[in-house]
Amino acid sequence: MGEVTYRVFSKDPVVLGGILFTILIGGIITKMVYNLYLHPLRDYPGPFFGRVTSLYYIRWNLSGLQHIKEKEWHDRYGEVIRLAPNYLSYNSNQAWKDIAGHRSSYQKGTFDKDQTFFGKPLNGAYNIAAANGDEHRRLRRLLAHAFSDKALKLQEPLLQGYVDKFINQLRQRSTSEGAIDIVKWFNFATFDMIGDLAFGEPFGLLETGKGDRYVDSIYGSVKIGTYIRAVTQVFPSPLKEVFLMLFVPKKLMEDQKHQVQLAEAKLMKRMELDTARDDFISYILKGSRMEIGEKGLSFPEMVSQAQVLILAGSETTATLLSGMTYLLLTNPSTLTKLMAEIRSSFTDQSDITLARAGQLPYLRAVLEEAMRMYPPVPNALPRLTPYPGEVICGKFVPGGVAVGLHHFSTYRSDRNFNEPDSFVPERWLPNHDKRFDGENHEAFHPFSYGPRSCLGRNLAYAELQLIATKLFWNFDLELQAESQKWMEQLTYALWQKASLNAPDDIYRHSPKVQHTRPFAMWPEPDNLQETGLPRPSRTPGGNAAYHNFHNDFSHIRDPNLQRRLVLAEIGTVPFGWYHMRAVAVAAAGFFADSLTSLL
């Protein structure tokens, strides 16, 4: 019988293929039925296809519209929803306490960060955002002194210097260069600040007015990381490593390696100086030298921490400043109140200090409301439930389930905030209008919550308050009609921001403040007539994709590539080669996973 079987299989590949195909289809159907009717999470509501396969959720991640869809699903299904067979999304204050809060002595295990989301670092050293357990506690202890109130006071002269340079560049270039992209200059200011604190020297962005390869590679890595996660989340080991090598763009891998190499070189240069500066490295080195043996930071660990501090301390701050500016310009009465508070509080720019800027109540309310409307990290950073399981929002969840707290849907939910889609900073003031009574502000945690909350919270507020105060003390800003839908953007872990431009043809001195110029903004310089390219789609997805691939950080200047990116829009989802490759790999992974489940 064995000989007959061998002969049939070896001489008739069609039969063999049919058998394998039948097994594969059977595996897929079996897994779908299991996910729908037998899985421990089967009773949780959510979109049908999301409960069947993780490909559905991955599809929306790849589209850049995850934040929009997840809000829609929460509005439809409630505070907890099942978006993939093994993933639950929450948007309530109780979920924050249960998932991210401090653990009591009788609670075993912790909600560790989901490493399929964060990925393995190239140099093998996890940063503080991704590390778990004792490793995270050690990193947090070593980094904490760099973000203390004492450190912030010592760092103020450095922050003041870069903010003043930012203001001076806006003043000079507004009359000499034509349109000014305020989003770009927010990024230049924050990256130079944090670059100096993390590496001992700035990137030189404010000085040159041009991008930097290290900074550019950060944006690419964050965005393409979405596609890498699509492969990692569905493909069984060890095959996923092979497919990552085959399908992840070579340029991305080169950018990531360059990022690590440049960070190593900059960090080594800073350490060789061995000078007493009040920057992150000084505090990290001091903390490491006080430890014994393996408790201190290794050089690869220092590189990883510096990289995450650059991203967390600069891009997110620049994002919020951009969103705040747009929201203020689309709400003139709010802008008037803020400018009145700032300009009545200071008689000279030199009077603006971190302490005094932090004492402006309406500015703080504006920042809180901007973070609610436009959270710098809009989507969830998943964690895993500890074994054997944990109670979340009154319901038991088995161990090993990915759970996430979705910022965008939480802060835009009418279960947490009244008039959630309206920009009303007054809701954060003690004497707010009665219509905002009963709001659930305990659901608002843009800097996370509990023992893993953001270490750089105070530094972030210092940057935000100082930049915003000096900007609105010096300049009047106004919005042109073309930018009314600026906030319709895609998200790939972070927002894909469009440009906010200021032309050079409007200049005036304010009767209250010298050197004041109104900023009028539009999405981008319209050079399509010069290139002969068709006008971009005016759907939200098309606009966002067009802006994203035309901003100064992308450095995409090939007309043929621009045309392909603009025209390759399917519905409201821009679709390209990276998407197709990632979807193909995800599909292959689903089939392989189904087959593996039968073995």
253's CB contacts (< 8 A; 6+ apart) are none
* Predicted local distance difference test score (pLDDT) of residue 370: 98
Closest CA to 111 of 445, 401, 379, 396: 401
Q: Are 596 and 31 in contact (CB under 8 A)?
A: no
* Predicted local distance difference test score (pLDDT) of residue 238: 66
409's CB contacts (< 8 A; 6+ apart) are 67, 70, 71, 73, 74, 75, 89, 91
| Residues in the chain, pLDDT under 50 | 1-2, 6, 8-9, 292-293, 502-579, 582, 585, 592-599
Q: 3-state DSSP call for residue 81?
A: strand
Closest CA to 493 of 62, 50, 92: 62
* Predicted local distance difference test score (pLDDT) of residue 289: 61
Closest CA to 472 of 162, 159, 167, 158: 167
Q: 3-state DSSP call for residue 133?
A: helix
Averaged pLDDT of the chain:
80
Q: Please enumerate, by residue number, every residue annotated as part of a binding site.
A: 454
Place of tokens 């003041």: 160
* Predicted local distance difference test score (pLDDT) of residue 536: 34
* Predicted local distance difference test score (pLDDT) of residue 230: 80
Per the confidence metrics, is the pTM higher than 0.85? no
Q: Please enumerate, by residue number, every residue annotated as part of a binding site for heme.
A: 454
* Predicted local distance difference test score (pLDDT) of residue 139: 92
Q: Are 374 and 52 in contact (CB under 8 A)?
A: no
